[in-house]
Structure 1
């Protein structure tokens, strides 16, 4: 059996530090297979290459796995210079001095595996779910077999077999203290077909749900460790089959006093469903509204209308559940007319926060990338390690951004541009607030 040193390369703390559950899931799979595993988090260890070098020297691993969570922050206002990947390149360079194979993976890596593998200088890569592929890769390397450099996506493991991460107590203590939020996954895959989204590629087009009992077992264990705030990291928590309601019922049955937040699609929802979710600890909802008019919603292949968004928001207000709507301007079909309409629509939503973004980060393999090529927005062979943003050919980017700023800048609950919103959140952090934080901007009428 081999010794494997796993590194979480992420040091981004915006909007708050996030426990690297991807690394810990891989750690659990390797440990159960009999390998010796060490989990190392660059953020927890102070983002120090010197400390990494010292720790690698003590562990003396046979293999090093590097988890890449994000390529960039998907904010078109940011000057990226290879985003977060330059730091990963430095980490890999440090590891290479020890002469051991470097295996790259993670959600960020899976978006651009060929470009990232070449840029960072790793030896092998794993795309998508890595539990089984990492085991096969190491097995082949141990046996001296020739193997492909990149293990591509394949059919995901069944929901009942999705493993619990091998939670590291030291890392867990850090994230509970620094962010107050621990992430839990209840399912993988996505049943929706949004034109820009990579989830169907990374996790499959069908949702594979974990048994509600297994999810509650994990929450109960983490709660006993001191975690009180949770974020469900599913692509969409409120699935059509109602698995999210089973999770809520299991939490209630166990009497777990927790608070949680998740990503929701603003589709049909009933008052009694919101009441149930709130009883289970739902503190707030992050809503994938994504576009702001019926025209632009259709352009993103959304299955709901703006009237559905209003209805969803009003039902949450009735139960005093804070909502944050994440929307993108500049998508397919956007014109200056729809920009003005969209600003009016979002400002009409009561008692909620809105995070507007400008432009859509393009990824190959998505319907939006295909459309962008047909429209002449991007060349089919365009390198995407440096982010390339889609903007409707029917608008002028600077004019749209100026209009968005004018439309939102007087509202404390409309956070545009994105960096302004992050600065407000950082101020709240300095005053000792922990958790998702944006909910502090909402006031409900009694």
Structure 2
């Protein structure tokens, strides 16, 4: 009996891309899961071992499955950098080499980028199988099917228990040394976001499971990272406080651990629950990042944000009360955005936020699986390049006009100038048979 052999490549670590490094927590999660199934898995990260990009030494051994992890397809802004060609070129290069060594090898792809764009990527990237939703179940089924087809005596342990994450000191230190200050850590196994924001595609990433990771496992992960010298963690859930009881329990865990110098950050939704904010402060919360998107009452409804101005104001006031740093994110350019809605957002921001507490951008992405995608009428298989909901160029001017000067520092004005330039270079794209159109950048079209 032998073990199944898998090589998992973090494509976002390719040195050919100008990509801000992010610790590959998704790939680490997959590696941790398949290890408990008895699979021999090697995680290839070119930040950790850059020489392997040149010598391809990881292809020298027997591989049953060559797997690829994609976190990002592009940089998500109007002037997006598009990464798919880098992925395709590398996959085209190495898959034939691995196939020549083992004709029975299968290729597998997954990650957040694939989960969202799965239909479009099927016709562009050279892979056989994809994992796009409930990771554990789909990977186990993939392995079972492949092992059965091979007809060999290969071990596969049907272990579906929850697990701690297999962080290696080498990988953690690599990302720490190149300037990554926070290591990601999920508090739930997948889990669906209950929000219904019109632009969001989280429902495609994981639409069935909503399992909280036990505190015992989170404690092991946190202490493991702390022993490696990590003092900042980013909880990677779509929203840390989806499950208030669980998020409060994590805060209490951190309070009990009382780790010197330990800080954490997370995405959160506005809540009137004061106890959560108080516990966040006591447990070492460095920052809560909140996608408010707008403070226009009408736009909050159109975007289906799930909160109102009273909830937002209460949450902001509680963060002030307990000295929790808040980073609010705004997104201009949604359906029917106009000067009045932007003026309302700017007015609320001017009255309730301080310099450095707000980040804003323009251009609402039309992502597969989102309500905006449904309205556009574009089939998911055609949505492979960055598409944006149409908005008037005057939106840039309205924001500059109505924001207080403290929110318009020189670098911010520079970003607005770059976004406006990209906007002017966009073309209107309409799928045949539909009456609507979206915006597509001229440099974001696949050849």
Judging changes above 3 Å, is the alpha-carbon distance between structure 1 residues 275 and 210 closer, same or farther for their aligned structure 2 residues?
A: same
Match of 2:143 in 1: 138
Does 2:59 correspond to 1:56?
A: yes
Gaps of 5+ in 2: 100-104, 152-159, 419-447
Alignment partners' CA distance in 1, 2:11 and 2:381: 26
Query: Cα deviation per residue 1:166-208 (whole Å; 9 max; x = unaligned)?
Result: 2222111112332121111112222222222222232226742
Alignment partners' CA distance in 2, 1:87 and 1:417: 31
Q: Is the 8 A contact 2:23 2:175 kept in 1?
A: yes
C-alpha deviation, 1:406, in angstroms:
4.8
Match of 2:314 in 1: 311
Determine which of 205, 220, 224 is the counterpart of 1:217: 220
Query: Cα deviation per residue 1:84-126 (whole Å; 9 max; x = unaligned)?
Result: 2111112211221221432111110011113213212112211
Q: Is the 8 A contact 1:190 1:235 kept in 2?
A: yes
Match of 2:397 in 1: 402
Match of 1:164 in 2: 164
Judging changes above 3 Å, is the alpha-carbon distance between structure 1 residues 388 and 38 closer, same or farther for their aligned structure 2 residues?
A: same
Match of 2:4 in 1: 2
C-alpha deviation, 1:240, in angstroms:
4.8
Q: Is the 8 A contact 2:350 2:404 kept in 1?
A: no
Q: TM-score, normalised on structure 2? A: 0.80
RMSD: 2.9
Secondary structure at the counterpart of residue 356 of structure 1: strand
Alignment partners' CA distance in 2, 1:24 and 1:291: 35
Does 2:121 correspond to 1:116?
A: yes
Summarize the alignment of residues 388-427 of structure 1 with structure 2, pairs less than 5 Å apart: 388-391=387-390, 395-396=391-392, 398-408=393-403, 410-411=405-406, 416=412, 419=415
Does 2:247 correspond to 1:252?
A: no
Alignment partners' CA distance in 2, 1:24 and 1:42: 14
Q: Is the 8 A contact 1:106 1:128 kept in 2?
A: no
Q: Is the 8 A contact 1:213 1:247 kept in 2?
A: no
Alignment partners' CA distance in 1, 2:138 and 2:380: 28
Q: Is the 8 A contact 1:357 1:416 kept in 2?
A: no
Alignment partners' CA distance in 2, 1:75 and 1:47: 31
Secondary structure at the counterpart of residue 360 of structure 1: coil
Query: Cα deviation per residue 1:341-366 (whole Å; 9 max; x = unaligned)?
Result: 22222232223521112121112322
Q: TM-score, normalised on structure 1? A: 0.80
Q: How many residues align?
A: 394
Q: Is the 8 A contact 1:23 1:39 kept in 2?
A: yes
Does 2:300 correspond to 1:297?
A: yes
Q: Is the 8 A contact 1:197 1:366 kept in 2?
A: yes
Secondary structure at the counterpart of residue 128 of structure 1: coil
Judging changes above 3 Å, is the alpha-carbon distance between structure 1 residues 342 and 176 closer, same or farther for their aligned structure 2 residues?
A: same
Alignment partners' CA distance in 2, 1:222 and 1:267: 30
Match of 1:89 in 2: 88
Determine which of 274, 277, 295 is the counterpart of 2:277: 274
Query: Cα deviation per residue 1:304-362 (whole Å; 9 max; x = unaligned)?
Result: 11232233222212222221111111112322221222222223222352111212111
Match of 2:426 in 1: none
Alignment partners' CA distance in 2, 1:76 and 1:324: 21
Alignment partners' CA distance in 1, 2:414 and 2:379: 29
Judging changes above 3 Å, is the alpha-carbon distance between structure 1 residues 95 and 117 closer, same or farther for their aligned structure 2 residues?
A: farther
C-alpha deviation, 1:129, in angstroms:
3.1
C-alpha deviation, 1:246, in angstroms:
0.6
Q: Is the 8 A contact 1:25 1:131 kept in 2?
A: no
Judging changes above 3 Å, is the alpha-carbon distance between structure 1 residues 291 and 14 closer, same or farther for their aligned structure 2 residues?
A: farther
Does 2:108 correspond to 1:107?
A: no
Secondary structure at the counterpart of residue 325 of structure 1: strand
